[in-house]
Amino acid sequence: MAAGAPILFFSLWVPAQGVLTIRLHYQSSLRWSQQREKNLDRPCSLNHPLVPETDLMKSRPFLVLLLAAAFAPARAEEAAFVSLFNGQDLSQWVPCNIADDTFTVRDGVLVTSGVPTGTLRTEKMYENFILEFEWRHMEKGGNSGLFVWADGFPAVGSPFSRGFEIQILDPGFNVPGKNEWYSTHGDIFAVNGSSLTVAGRISPDGKRSFPSEERTKPSPQWNHYRVVANNGDLSLSVNGKEVTIAKQANPRKGYLMLESEGAECQFRNLRIAELPSTHPDQQQTARATDGFVPIFNGIDLSGWRVPEGDNGHWGVIGQVIDYDALSESTGDKNLWTSREYKNFELVVDWRIKATPYNNPRVYELLPDGSEALGPDGKPVPQTLPDSDSGIFLRGEGKYQVNIWCWPAGSGEMYGVRRDPSMPQQTRAGVTPLMKADHPIGTWNRFEITVKEDTVRIVLNGKEVIPTVKIPGMPDSGPIALQHHGNQREGQWVSPPALVQFRNLFIRELP
């Protein structure tokens, strides 16, 4: 700037009367510099104008333009925000693995009971955005969270999705000397296989971005969160100040989720402003699950037909469907859905708890669906630890997707493969291409597609049964979790269905 060049200043003043006053003044850059050095310059003080008001200041169009320029950025940002909660219902949200009343609306506030542990997701995915909301816990030590860029399904065997959690934790959860790995003031961390680079203040184990300050107010006071998510970077402001940052997240497009975890938490004034896309590829985008609905609520067996006289052997323990293979029903001991389904995609997590029975009738299956023969032309049995259950399709046990410990692996359709009246192509088609089971005691995931007279089965991400045509399948029917096994004098005499199930979702197809 040339010495003596004019500088234009303006100041805004709102006196007690509430009338906005604008003062404009100018001075030479040389004089401004001299006064600054003497600590005399106060160019933005209404009570100390450097020169008299100019005619320019009196121009109404100029003042309008000046005001517009001053407030335009704030107005543009405000205009970009849209509400994520209408204060009346959950029309913009989808329950993932929770009960109908886990999240409710009370007096215009979104409330989670905390039971069961699970999530409520947005209807659509978001990429780059600014999210603002208020939250409060209703008891000391309450736990909740916001998930961003999350998959629509929970991770296998987990109540939570792959994604990134921004902790919503009451300071009463703090246990000095025991909680060095977490804080109660807005941690950011990766969950269930997602990845990010922690930054700023970092937890001792290196897995979490910690807040730089402790700004969370304890229950039942309201807190304000502002989350900025852009091109894989995250920042969190708590009650008006940025405190936590993380970078290079993958995925960087996905659902937003509110967490239910053990205690009541309330949310209000949820709003979001989307920012321009930075074009994530498929690997940087979370898995979409539009149209899927849960068929297990994590609390009880609502929506299922418990066998008459079962006496509690089918039950819910720790938010999973648990079976001990000892149903006391004198009739059908399988657990059936209350309603029927025709064409659908079904997702089921399952695990075998134990294999106490040594099965002497286990066979090697050949690719054509037959059992390997010995020199005498007969199938060669093996004795192996075994448990046995399955998923019945369209109301009949014949059309079961097997859960067992045979070398061929789960996903085999035993009743179809063993039916000599079925075409050879079909019998071969329902024999697994590979064994994709995880070890006993760990969780697996079936993804089963039933369309007209065809079935396709994916186990743990691997297509074990490509789409196969099965003649004679019923048009529709309920779905069942299979009972299997018998005892004599307290000893198993056949493979028991010692199994658990969770994360059951279905999407009906045309």
Nearest CA to 146 out of 157, 131, 125, 128 is that of: 131
CA distance 139 to 186: 18
What burial letters (b/e) apply to 179-216, b meaning 16+ CB within 10 Å?
A: eeebbbbbbbbbbbebebebbbbebeeeebbbbbeebb
The predicted pLDDT at position 197 comes to: 99
CA distance 59 to 95: 57
What burial letters (b/e) apply to 272-285, b meaning 16+ CB within 10 Å?
A: bbeeeeeebeeebb
The predicted pLDDT at position 59 comes to: 52
Reading phi first (left if > 0) and then psi (alpha if -120 to 50, else beta), residue 345 is in beta
Reading phi first (left if > 0) and then psi (alpha if -120 to 50, else beta), residue 321 is in beta
pTM (2 decimals)?
Answer: 0.85
DSSP 345-364: EEEEEEEE----EEEEEE-P
What's the CATH code, domain 83-287? 2.60.120.560
Both tokens assigned to 332 = 């059908």
Percent of the chain with pLDDT over 90: 82
* For the chain, domain boundaries: 6-79, 83-287, 304-508
Do the domains 83-287 and 304-508 sit in the same CATH topology, yes or no?
yes
Question: Which top CATH class is 304-508?
Answer: mainly beta
- The C-alpha torsion from 32 through 36 and 38 to 40, rounded to 10°, is 80
Chain-centroid distance, C-alpha 251: 13
CA distance 59 to 185: 50
Cα-flanking dihedrals φ and ψ of residue 58, to 5°? -85, -5
pLDDT in tens, 26-46: 344 434 334 434 443 333 333
Residues of the chain predicted below pLDDT 50? 1-58, 62-67, 69-74, 76
Indicate if the alpha-carbon torsion angle 406, 408, 409, 414 is positive or negative.
Answer: negative
The predicted pLDDT at position 58 comes to: 47
The predicted pLDDT at position 14 comes to: 39
Alpha helices (H) in 81-166, listed in sequence order: none
pLDDT in tens, 245-270: 999 999 999 999 999 999 999 999 99
